[in-house]
Amino acid sequence: MNAFEHPSVDNGEFTSYQLTYAIILRRQPTMYVVNLLLPSFFLMTVDLFSFVLPPQNVDRSAFKMTLILGYTVFLLLMNELLPVTGNSIPLINVFFSMCMALMVGSLLETIVITNMMCGSIRDLPMPNWLRVLFLKYFALVVCMGKANSDSTSSENPDGLGEEPSVPGNGEGQLGSRDGQALQTADPSVVELQHLGEELQAIQRHLQKKPDAVDQNAEDWKRIGLVIDRFLFWALHMGPVAPLNCSEPNTQSLLAAFKTDIFPFNAVRPVNQLTTPTNISIYFTLYAILGVDEKAQVLETFIWQAMTWRIEFLSWDPEECGTDVVTVPRNNLWRPDIVINEFVDKNKAPDTFYVRVNSSGYVTDGMPVKLKSSCNLNIYTFPFDMQKCSFTFHSYMHNNLSVSLDFGKAVEDILSQSKLLMKTMGEWELLDMTADKISLVSYESTWDELVYYVTLRRRATLYVVNLIIPSCFLITLDLFSFILPPQEVDRSAFKMTLILGYTVFLLLMNELLPVTGNTIPLLNVFFSICLALMVASLLETIIITNLMHNSQAYPAAPHWLTFIIIDVIGRLVCLRRKKTPEQGFVLPNHGSLVKMKVGDAAGGPEKETEAVTELRKLRRQLQDIRHHVFSAAEAESRGDDWILIGSIVDRFLFYLYAIFISVSFFTIVALWIHQEAV
């Protein structure tokens, strides 16, 4: 505890001294470590070890989204333990925000990695610099060097997939020389050759991607694993007769007051009642206690001072032994000055004395806990500035009896208030102006002194606790478009995200202002974000249906394909892919060659058992081929619907990104502009 003394100037005439005791307290952190820090470390550790989950086999994104939801609920429930102030942001709040940012970043990384593992990005050609950077250098850093293996033995150990050399001209017709040779060949050999052609046709249809594409997909997959491992390691680390005093002491002066001054406390202290009393008023704003937007009330603590002159009072300081004396307030006449905006009684401590100097000037200073009405406009919350007024006037006396004037320049009041202000909370005193108004009423004129106080809300608390978490969640919803809907249940991910965002808004509702005058722009922003999340969920449901059931749909209408594929598809750079035509014709053979069995005299002709079995096998392969080709034809009919779904998905992704970018830059610009004012 320290004590020191410093002067405090009231009105330039008197200087008083006050003693200030500074008490140093230390908070006991055990409760906060157990209830806040340790659970946060536990959840961060779980998020760290979630990198061990294989993204190609486990829906890691859903796991991380659930973890973020749990961490958000934990922070909101523990919000009562955290200090709420606008002066500065506690370091523990910054720590929690960083933990949330790391969780969101790891979830975004998981979404990208999942797309590399299962999504359509594997079909894109990989740049050589990217392959060298990640597979050669980053892989060595994270101890994931590429193993050398025999491509032939690893990709095709049994020699399967190689096209057999089947005689023919590529169109299913036998050559002339080979045809003549088959006239005398064994019918079993002929059937085996036909069987090979059937297998070759099926193989050509099922083999859709060349080896280069498969290798490209493996490279994308390996880059995803390298990035995943790298991030895992990174996160680990007028002149009147004077009073006559019989003696130069206070007792003599007070005795003179009792006989010459105190009996006249019921009337204005003037020699002629037609002479107005000049009242000088000023105040010092010591604290901004709070703002109630719903009740439109501003609560402040001020030190109000009034000065006026008792015309028939003066004394000789040498004769009476003092220049200033304090007397009970109730023994002197006091002006009935009120503040128009008062909505509650003064709850400040009572003071009982006023100060009187030898010239007859009375200074009455008193603390006022001012609860005043104020027209609050919170449309730009939390970047809003409010202008409230304090109007001083006499309740009973017009300007013929009481004349009001400013006791200090408003610039001096502003500077002294900023210097002595102890508590502002989330509000900052920005400016102060004053004006004198003559109010005409009932054929009389009253003087009014109006002080306009401009306050600015400190937005840091709301940016950290409201806007940044909301931006995190909306960014997650944006990047969820990268998840391939044909491989990952994107709808469940988005539904969990909407649930978390709804819980976040409900629990953070106490920080939002409640008023019936205007709707804050921030509330509109939250509503639009929620609407976009719901719209993206509905779009995901439709896209998922198109991806899995499009083969059962009829052909897409021409107008729909023109608007979405030809027009919107160009805007989002997504067009139809040119698919190569099948480079072969189905083999069509005539009747099987029969083998003659019997004596030389021309015995009866009959088919051997081998030829009969081969004919049955060939018919079964033809049925398989017909089934495969029928499925391919049905799949081709659904390609337009799948392309329409992909274009709509990407178009909504672009709209989402534009909205988030514009909102982000607008909030940052407002924040920077407010800090610069």
Contact present, 498 and 76 (Cβ < 8 Å): no
Q: Does one domain contain both 358 and 476? A: no
- Cα distances (Å, whole numbers) of residue 98 to 40, 92, 101, 573: 11, 10, 5, 36
pLDDT at 434 over 80: yes
> Is residue 6 in some structural domain?
no
> Is residue 606 in some structural domain?
no
Question: Region 76-97: what's the mean pLDDT?
Answer: 71
CATH number at residue 318: 2.70.170.10
**Which domain does 545 fall in, by range?**
30-118+462-579+638-676
Spell out the residues 6+ positions from residue 331 whose beta carbon is closer than 8 angstroms to its own.
257, 261, 262, 265
Q: Does one domain contain both 442 and 553? A: no
> Is residue 3 in some structural domain?
no
Predicted pLDDT at 3: 54
The residue with tokens 């000023």 is 282
Q: Does one domain contain both 560 and 663? A: yes
What phi, psi does 124 have (nearest 5°)?
A: -80, 140
Q: pTM above the 0.75 mark?
A: no
Residue 51 — very low, low, confident or very high, per pLDDT cuts 50/70/90?
confident
Predicted pLDDT at 285: 93
Q: Does one domain contain both 563 and 479? A: yes
Bigger pLDDT: 589 or 19?
19
Boundary (domain end) residue, out of 457, 473, 505 = 457
Q: Does one domain contain both 424 and 506? A: no
Maximum mean pLDDT: which of 49-63, 96-110, 339-353: 339-353
Q: Does one domain contain both 394 and 499? A: no
Question: Region 573-582: what's the mean pLDDT?
Answer: 62
Distance in angstroms (rounded) separating the CA atoms of residues 125 and 127? 7
Q: Does one domain contain both 301 and 434? A: yes
Q: Does one domain contain both 524 and 437? A: no
> Is residue 632 in some structural domain?
no
> Is residue 631 in some structural domain?
no
Distance in angstroms (rounded) separating the CA atoms of residues 454 and 429? 6
Determine the length of the chain: 677
Boundary (domain end) residue, out of 419, 438, 457 = 457
pLDDT at 659 over 70: yes
Q: Kind of pairing, strands 402-406 and 277-292?
A: parallel
Q: Does one domain contain both 468 and 450? A: no
* pLDDT tens-digit map of 221-279: 677 666 766 666 565 444 556 776 777 777 788 888 887 788 888 888 888 888 899 99
Q: Does one domain contain both 411 and 487? A: no
Contact present, 639 and 551 (Cβ < 8 Å): no
pLDDT at 632 over 50: yes
Q: Does one domain contain both 397 and 273? A: yes
> Is residue 16 in some structural domain?
no
> Is residue 271 in some structural domain?
yes
Bigger pLDDT: 108 or 600?
108
3-state helix, strand, coil in the chain (%, to 5): 50, 20, 30
Boundary (domain end) residue, out of 434, 457, 480 = 457
* pLDDT tens-digit map of 205-227: 665 544 444 566 676 667 766 67
**Coil, strand, or helix at residue 495?**
helix
Report H helices in 359-426: 410-420
Which tokens hold the place of 657?
């990104």
Question: Region 466-473: what's the mean pLDDT?
Answer: 87
Predicted pLDDT at 408: 92
How many distinct structural domains can be found in the chain? 2
Q: Does one domain contain both 374 and 298? A: yes
Contact present, 252 and 320 (Cβ < 8 Å): yes
> Is residue 205 in some structural domain?
no
